[in-house]
Amino acid sequence: MENPVLKNSILEVKNRVALLTFDRDDVRNALTGTEIASDILKALSWSNASEEVSVLIMSGAGTAFSSGGNVLEMKERRGIFAGTVRQIQEQYRQGIQQIPLAMEAAEIPLIAAINGPAIGAGFDLACMCDLRIGSEKSVFGETFVSLGIIPGDGGAWFLQRIVGYQRAAELTLTGRLVKADEALKMGILLETVDSGVLLQRAWELAEVIAAKPPQAVRKAKRLLKFAQQGSLSDVLDLSACFQGMLHHTPDHIEAINAFLEKREGRYTGQ
């Protein structure tokens, strides 16, 4: 498959890992007023459909991961922020709200390499990923209330699943900023590294995952997501179904042989 045509982002693929870099540092990689939101949707769709991709990393070029909504657009009532109540509602549904739906439906693991501030919808985007790695430059803020609005992109759903209701309420209702060391303690970040090796560390983690049997990785990811909401009995039923499917794959046999022969597996995704 040919790479999708992106306008404000760059997509690279190597060793079954895709890296999507938001490339609008002039507006701190804002998700509104740019084509980044559209690029994310295209990259997700392409990566999910590609048999050559097992993991997708997201990061930002320049100083920020993403500043979220463009505040100048809000002031001038342009783009997604223009129109009547009904029109704005529909623009959210057909626009930025497509991102959380696509992120939640993604079969491949998603890693956020947070190179700088992740603010508002940028913070929520990071929370939509399965794994988050930061550096001393990472800063997080659920800042919507400070602008007289609320998380319109699913942040209220994602954040409390990471930090719990009480902490999510505190961050959402105060809009305060959280630096990397506190974010690590809260569980927002999996780990922090020096900014100079952030992408290298994200690639290392992604390549460990991408080296596993591809179908097992995708089904394990789907099972984890389903288990966040499903009952134990439903999770067990789905686990049995996936297990039956995977036991019949050539990659499962290859994994067993590689284990017994003490070598790396050579997987085809079959």
- In a shared domain, residues 86 and 199: yes
Locus of tokens 């740019």: 34
CATH number of the domain that residue 187 is part of: 3.90.226.10
Asked if 59 contacts 9 with a C-beta cutoff of 8 angstroms, the reply is no
Q: Are residues 116 and 227 in the same domain?
A: no
Is the domain of 240 the same as that of 141? no
Is 236's pLDDT higher than 80? yes
> What is the chain's percent helix, strand, coil content, to nearest 5?
50, 15, 35
Element (H, E) at 15: none
CATH of the domain at 239: 1.10.12
Residue 158, pLDDT above cutoff 90: yes
CB 130 within 8 A of CB 190: no
Domain with 106, as residue range(s), is 9-210
Q: What is the C-alpha to C-alpha distance for residues 211 and 85, in angstroms, rounded to an integer?
A: 48
Last residue of a domain, one of 184, 210, 236: 210
Q: Is residue 138 scored above 80 in pLDDT?
A: yes
In a domain, 4, yes or no: no
Residues 7-30 as b/e (b if ≥16 CB within 10 A, e otherwise) read ebbebeeeebbbbbbbbbeebbbb
Between 42 and 1, the more confident residue is 42
Closest CA to 87 of 99, 75, 79: 79
Residue 255 and residue 134 share a domain: no
Question: Are 126 and 180 a contacting pair, CB within 8 Å?
Answer: no
Query: Both 127 and 238 in a single domain?
Result: no
Would you say residue 266 lies in a domain?
no
In a domain, 3, yes or no: no
205 and 166 co-located in one domain:
yes
Shared domain for 192 and 231, answered yes or no, is no
Q: What is the pLDDT of residue 2?
A: 83
Task: Name the helix (H) or strand (E) containing 87.
Answer: helix 85-94
What is the C-alpha R_g of the chain? 19
The tens digit of pLDDT for each residue in 64-89 reads 999 999 888 888 888 888 899 999 99
* Domain match, 152 and 222 both: no
Which tens digit of pLDDT belongs to each residue from 192-209?
A: 999 999 999 999 999 999
In a domain, 161, yes or no: yes
- Say whether both 65 and 167 belong to one domain: yes
| Two tokens, residue 134 | 């930061």
Which stretches does DSSP call E strand in the chain?
9-14, 17-22, 55-60, 110-114, 117-119, 131-134, 139-141, 177-179, 191-192
- Which amino acid, 153? D
**How much is the mean pLDDT over the chain?**
95
In a shared domain, residues 179 and 204: yes
Please tell me the total count of domains within the chain. 2
Adjacent-strand bridge partners of 133: 113, 191
* Same domain for 241 and 191: no
Q: What is the pTM of this model?
A: 0.95
